[in-house]
Structure 1
Amino acid sequence: MKDLVAKVRNQNLFATGETVVVAVSGGADSVALLDILTRLDEERLNLIVAHLNHCLRGAESDADEQFVADLAARYQLPFLAIRVDVASLAAADGLSLEDAGRRARYAFFHEVARRRGAGSITVAHHLDDQAETVLIRLLRGAGGAGLSAMAAVGDNLVKRPLLQVSRCELEGYLNNRGLSWRTDSTNADTTILRNSIRHELIPALRKYNPRITERLAATAEILASDEELLDHLTGNAFARLASVEGDGIVFGVGALLQEHRGLRLRLYRRSLREQRGDLMRIALTHLEAIDRLASSSRPNASLKLPGELRVERCYDRLRFTCALPPVAERWEQVIPGEGSHRLPTGATLSVLRVPPPETLATGSKRVTYLSADAAPLPWLARSFTPGDRFTPLGMTGSQKVKELFINEKLPPNERSRVPLILSEGEIVWVAGVRAGEKGRVTAATGAVLRVEILDITP
């Protein structure tokens, strides 16, 4: 038992006295994680237990929530929970239940971290999860970055202290500690890919290597180290070869073609991500098409890629752009009251008066609650203007909106599409990004407005 506590402590993931959000589903892995973190006496962590009820299993989901609430009470820790209709969220966004649930969870955890000033969000992914993730990505098709799977220190505060610990070790730890846990009945459903890999594929692979999960996890760790080096080399090459011209990224074809093919493909990925903010629906075939365009004897040609991305060859110049639907550089619109309001960006702003909610965490950045008294209507919705400042919710000082966009990694060409919502001349919501302090809902708030932005980007 002490070995697992020492294994987590020796990773030095947390600062002394740090506030940490602990994601607890009630399953064995997250119950073990919470218990281990409470035993890090030297770190004196301020732990906050967070649970999202997916509302997928009726009374079973509600029992999971109550179990975690009781667990937090036993440790005398603050407990925050939210209920999200994940099935409806999946249907509305065209996602699988797994993807919709994951998005809702992380949106909630980040909201809790923001409101409580937490420096970390801990999740209980373990060695077996890592092995399963490697196989899922291998089956779907992935390069080194994808096969690196999960990192102990991930993006946006997320930390995974148990990646070196197996599921069997965690259950043994709980049994030795006399701790119980909940079992999700859907974990046995092999129509779900991860469950099929866990219950069918990995047992089959153990016939060839009894330590297959350890080998897959070790492979992911090796690839992660390689990716760190390759990312560094790509960054240096990008700084040397790329230039930003207007709303595009431009390379000189001659210099580009002198680089190794593998580095060129990474530079294309970097350029596309810089333009759109992600690489959704971008596959190897698209990168190879860009490389053929760069190598072509034709001096002028272009490619249209998913997500409004475009690559143009003009003699010795290769230009990457993202052609989002045109939006006026400067726009504004009065929001007179409740209802749905179509904005010049093509997005719709929904404003609805609701009873004070039990929790202000919405599970989505696209939704916020504002006090009708502190942020009275009518409002003004308008585009971002350089120099805009606002006071983010939970803070006392103001911040430049541009800094917020940079922190959120929002590409410059998309910033004019994000509506700023103002009440009495002050920004109360950077729509889909961050709420402002002016519209804060408190226990004394009477009228509450639920505000949602729909289709903020295509």
Structure 2
Amino acid sequence: MAFDRAALLAKVRATLARYRMLEDGDLVVVAVSGGADSVALLHVLHELRAADYPRMRLHVAHLNHQLRGEEADADEAFVRQLAERLRLPFTGERQDVRAMARAQARNLEEVAREARYRFLRRVAAEVGARRIATGHTLTDQAETFLMRLLRGAGGEGLSGIHPIVDDLIIRPLLAVRREETHAYCHALGIAYRVDRSNIEAELWRTRVRQEILPRLMALNPRAPEAIGRAAERLRVDEAYFDEVVGNLFPELIISRHDDAMRLSVEKLRASHPALRSRLLREAIRQMCGHTRRVTSHHVEALERLLDPHKSGRRVMLPVPLVVWREFDALTLVRSPAAPEPYWMELLPGEPVSVGGFTLRFDRGVIEAPPSSADLALLDDERVPERLAVRSRRPGDRYTPAGRRRPLKLKTLMWAHRIPVSERDRWPLVVTADDDRIVCAPGLPVAADFAVGADTRRLAVIRFERGRG
């Protein structure tokens, strides 16, 4: 079927009008990575400017995350040249996102996203833009919805990618499928970059993209549109609930101080379950500023504290917050700060003391020392030139020797009885350049670096407890 350019433009026009995204005369920062979606977005807005918004101005912005070496630099150069061809102003910046994630001991994708939006907001402020346009598509919406559904998200999570955020960020392509942006570029002979990190995306998104969504489309060819409508209805519902929760929440508060809040158990129990879970999330949000990593399981654990005879019970959350029941009050207290994350290089012959251990690293060992839980024996030829020691991070996993599939670090720590109180400081030996876990005290060596029948020389890492 031939590509219908007019239909794509009509979808974008309808989205712009429905959510009142643009006004003639607006200055819009367009986030362009170089991929087909963002390149199509820039050209569509450029095309609509001539037809519908003659006084609209566009400003191209690109953040080089420095994650893919020469490829990332080529993306930056491509976007810069694209802006020059369209005679549009361009702002580019480079940030070492991997180093930022390492320093913060956080998920790389999450840190990259936050860095990208900070950059875009700063550019918008500097140039005086009223809007920031990003290239999220209907396909992105469908994938996000399905991923969150599989993780058990509630209405807030399933409301998906919002068309407008903070009256600043807009998603004009949210009614357009990804294949349509590619077809638009091909039909008009517009070049774009292919990001291998998108092709090699995280396992969840890859399987949703390649397996689950195609099967749904076999049942309903317009499944992405149906999912988009469901997300829209949930957004409307959540906006209503937000308003109700905002009105009800102050009535729950018994007392509040800088680091603590006490809520009425009686009033929480009297609330409708649909409101109760949202009120508890609001309490977490007010104490921590966000509810990231707080799942429905955590909220259900808090709800169980409201049951009779639960006084004295407490719940630890994946945010710096402890919640417990004190007679007729639910008490939320900010927990002490977690240990500072660390990362340092591990060099042969140079001991490193950290996390309650001193680590000693030797290479080229011919004769194997006696086996012990205090040392890790590695195949020296498999171990890269540079190693490092760091604290654990969310999402850490690796494939232990003798296993075929990766396991979560949290699962391995539990299985090997590493105390919860020590896990945030527990030293992990990783490859310095690509952050693959190699070994850790009390845990099995990673399969990629384990000794085998063909091992000729050993690399030995000793873990001495009680130092560092």
1:20–1:213 distance in 2 versus 1, CA, 3 Å: same
Deviations 1:5-60 (A, max 9, x none): 53344232023322221100111111111122222344422221101122233332
Aligned to 2:460: none
Distance 1:73 1:45 in 2: 18
1:101–1:17 distance in 2 versus 1, CA, 3 Å: same
Q: 1:246 pairs with 253, 257, 260, which one?
A: 257
Q: Does 1:138 align with 2:149?
A: yes
Any residues of structure 2 matched to 1:272-311 within 5 Å, and which?
272-311=284-323
1:230–1:302 distance in 2 versus 1, CA, 3 Å: same
Aligned to 2:278: 266
Distance 1:8 1:243 in 2: 44
Identical pairs, percent = 41
Distance 2:15 2:295 in 1: 37
Q: Does 1:51 align with 2:62?
A: yes
Deviation at 1:272, TM superposition (A): 0.9
Q: Is the 8 A contact 2:60 2:88 kept in 1?
A: yes
Deviation at 1:74, TM superposition (A): 1.6
1:161–1:194 distance in 2 versus 1, CA, 3 Å: same
Equivalent position amino acid for 2:170 in 1: K
Deviations 1:264-319 (A, max 9, x none): 12111101110011113322232222222222225555444333313343332323
Equivalent position amino acid for 2:332 in 1: F
Deviation at 1:244, TM superposition (A): 4.7
Q: 1:31 pairs with 39, 48, 66, which one?
A: 39
Q: 1:3 pairs with 3, 6, 10, which one?
A: 10
Distance 2:285 2:60 in 1: 34
Equivalent position amino acid for 1:40 in 2: R
Q: 1:322 pairs with 317, 320, 334, which one?
A: 334
1:139–1:95 distance in 2 versus 1, CA, 3 Å: farther
Three-state SS of the structure 2 residue aligned to 1:21 is strand
Distance 1:325 1:59 in 2: 38
Aligned to 1:107: 118
Shifted more, 301-310 versus 233-242: the winner is 301-310
1:153–1:323 distance in 2 versus 1, CA, 3 Å: same
Give me the TM-score of the superposition, normalised by structure 2: 0.64
1:304–1:132 distance in 2 versus 1, CA, 3 Å: closer
1:298–1:187 distance in 2 versus 1, CA, 3 Å: closer
Deviations 1:122-168 (A, max 9, x none): 10001001011112212233111111111100247221111111122
Paired residues, what number?
326
Equivalent position amino acid for 2:275 in 1: L
Give me the TM-score of the superposition, normalised by structure 1: 0.65
Deviations 1:304-352 (A, max 9, x none): 43333133433323232324459xxxxxxxxxxxxxxxxxxxxxxxxxx
Distance 1:125 1:250 in 2: 40
Q: Is the 8 A contact 1:268 1:287 kept in 2?
A: yes
Q: Is the 8 A contact 2:254 2:264 kept in 1?
A: no
Distance 1:281 1:5 in 2: 33
Distance 1:196 1:91 in 2: 27
Shifted more, 134-143 versus 187-196: the winner is 187-196
1:165–1:319 distance in 2 versus 1, CA, 3 Å: same
Q: 1:40 pairs with 40, 49, 61, which one?
A: 49
Any residues of structure 2 matched to 1:153-232 within 5 Å, and which?
153-155=164-166, 157-189=168-200, 192-232=203-243
1:294–1:206 distance in 2 versus 1, CA, 3 Å: same
Deviations 1:329-377 (A, max 9, x none): xxxxxxxxxxxxxxxxxxxxxxxxxxxxxxxxxxxxxxxxxxxxxxxxx
Q: 1:69 pairs with 80, 85, 97, which one?
A: 80
Q: Is the 8 A contact 1:9 1:40 kept in 2?
A: no
Three-state SS of the structure 1 residue aligned to 2:240 is helix
Deviation at 1:4, TM superposition (A): 4.4
Distance 1:275 1:94 in 2: 22
Distance 2:12 2:227 in 1: 24
1:74–1:268 distance in 2 versus 1, CA, 3 Å: same
Equivalent position amino acid for 1:188 in 2: I
RMSD: 2.5
Three-state SS of the structure 1 residue aligned to 2:325 is strand
Shifted more, 199-208 versus 296-305: the winner is 296-305
Three-state SS of the structure 2 residue aligned to 1:118 is coil
Three-state SS of the structure 2 residue aligned to 1:206 is helix
Any residues of structure 2 matched to 1:321-400 within 5 Å, and which?
321-324=333-336
Equivalent position amino acid for 1:305 in 2: L
Distance 1:5 1:130 in 2: 15
Distance 1:309 1:172 in 2: 48
Distance 2:270 2:45 in 1: 51
Three-state SS of the structure 2 residue aligned to 1:294 is coil
Three-state SS of the structure 2 residue aligned to 1:306 is coil
Distance 2:196 2:320 in 1: 41
- Larger radius of gyration between Structure 1 and Structure 2: 2
Three-state SS of the structure 1 residue aligned to 2:184 is helix
Distance 2:337 2:16 in 1: 50
Deviations 1:179-229 (A, max 9, x none): 222222333326543233222332233333322222222221121122112
The runs of 5 or more residues in structure 2 that have no matched partner are 1-5, 339-468
Distance 2:162 2:280 in 1: 24
